[in-house]
Structure 1
Amino acid sequence: MAATAARKLPKADRREQLLETAHLIAREEGTDALTLGHLAQRAGVSKPIAYEHFVSRSGLMIALYKRINDRQLEILAAALAYTPQKLETVAEVMGQAYMSCYTAVGPEWHAIAAALRGDAQMDAYQQELIDGHIDFYAKALGPMCQLSETDLRRRCVGIIGAAEAISRDMVRGRISKDAAAADLTSLIVDWLR
């Protein structure tokens, strides 16, 4: 890997390579091992390159979380584009997509989220992402329910919170992926019907 990593890459490709390596470190060694120095070493680049891309450990954690989150939302948006606009159907797609993302990413998603609670910059960023999910869900679900915008948003806050809790149990092996997706689907339908 070092021979490939050491060659000059365009900045965007280098950042992607560093994020991929960071994801592997989080999966294999845990988030405590995710420092810019260790990242540089594993990626086969100098420390200044890692610092140039992320500035700090907080910057790295935020970039990694954002990368995973953006992929999750892209997959969900693509799935919803082809879904009939019926509450039960949209809720099922949302439930499946949410749990599929956690299954694909693995337990490091929750570990990265926990590590984001370390300082004000990371807390603010995590809240921004949660607010983005709430807005996404409210926009997707709004046309299929009779709730006011305020009530819909408040319920989406609860749905996202419940989805996080259900996915945590799924990742820990306490509930199957199918049961987790069905529970989230049921919650969405019951709360918005």
Structure 2
Amino acid sequence: MQKTAIRKLTKPERRAQLIETSKEILRECGADALTLGHLAERAGVSKPIAYEHFGTREGLLIALSREIEERHTEKLRKALQDAPTDLSSVAGVISAVYVGCAVENGAEWQAMSGALRGNAEMDLVQQELADEYVALVGAALAPFSRLSVDDLRLRCTGIAGAAEAIAREFVRGRTTEDHAAANLAVLIAKAVG
């Protein structure tokens, strides 16, 4: 009987595998269960491999947060490329993508955010990611606004906060996906129109 050679994963492939396994642990067991030791065991690798990729539990949670936010931003960029060129449609795209990402990652995101509250490094990462999101939304809404650049940025910051709060209501089961997206779209349009 001939043995089949098992291909060793490249470092980026291993990191992606560890990120996906981390999401499974978050979904199934919650943030308290997500440790580098548990991750290594679940992924079938040694603890040093998990530590090599993330350093600490906080490093792992920050990597997960970045991955989720970067995926969300990319989805929004793509959706905006194909959006009709009126305020209502653009607001609808922004809200649908945001709520769609809450559907996809809501419980995981809430668990990670809670686990990292007060972590200085995570605060910096969240601010960086929020600034990127606000800039993307601002650029999409600028053609429909007579606001100054600074006022538009502040309103988009408020939109991001409202989007997070509405998404949290959805994750908690207090509204439907469609209802959350529709109300967020109205808020966006009124904020800049």
Tell me the number of residue pairs that the alignment of Structure 1 and Structure 2 aligns: 188
Q: How much has 1:143 moved relative to structure 2?
A: 1.8
1:103–1:171 Cα contact (<8 Å) kept: yes
Identity %, equivalent residues:
54
Equivalent in the alignment of 1:127:
127
Q: How much has 1:8 moved relative to structure 2?
A: 2.0
Q: How much has 1:116 moved relative to structure 2?
A: 2.5
Equivalent in the alignment of 2:180:
180
Q: Does 1:102 align with 2:102?
A: yes
Equivalent in the alignment of 2:115:
115
TM-score (norm 2): 0.94
1:54-133 mapped onto 2 (5 Å cutoff): 54-133=54-133
Q: How much has 1:7 moved relative to structure 2?
A: 5.8
Q: How much has 1:182 moved relative to structure 2?
A: 0.6
Q: Does 1:165 align with 2:151?
A: no
TM-score (norm 1): 0.94
Residues 149-183 of structure 1 show CA distances to partners (whole Å, capped at 9, x for unaligned) of: 00000101110101000000001110111110011
Work out the CA distance in 1 between the residues paired with 2:51 and 2:171.
32
Equivalent in the alignment of 2:10:
10
Work out the CA distance in 1 between the residues paired with 2:125 and 2:110.
15
Q: Which runs of 5+ in 2 are unaligned?
A: 1-5
Aligned-partner residue type, residue 48 of structure 1 = P
**Alpha carbon RMSD of aligned pairs, Å?**
1.2
Looking at CA atoms only, which structure, 1 or 2, has the larger radius of gyration? 2
1:113–1:126 Cα contact (<8 Å) kept: no
Q: How much has 1:95 moved relative to structure 2?
A: 0.8
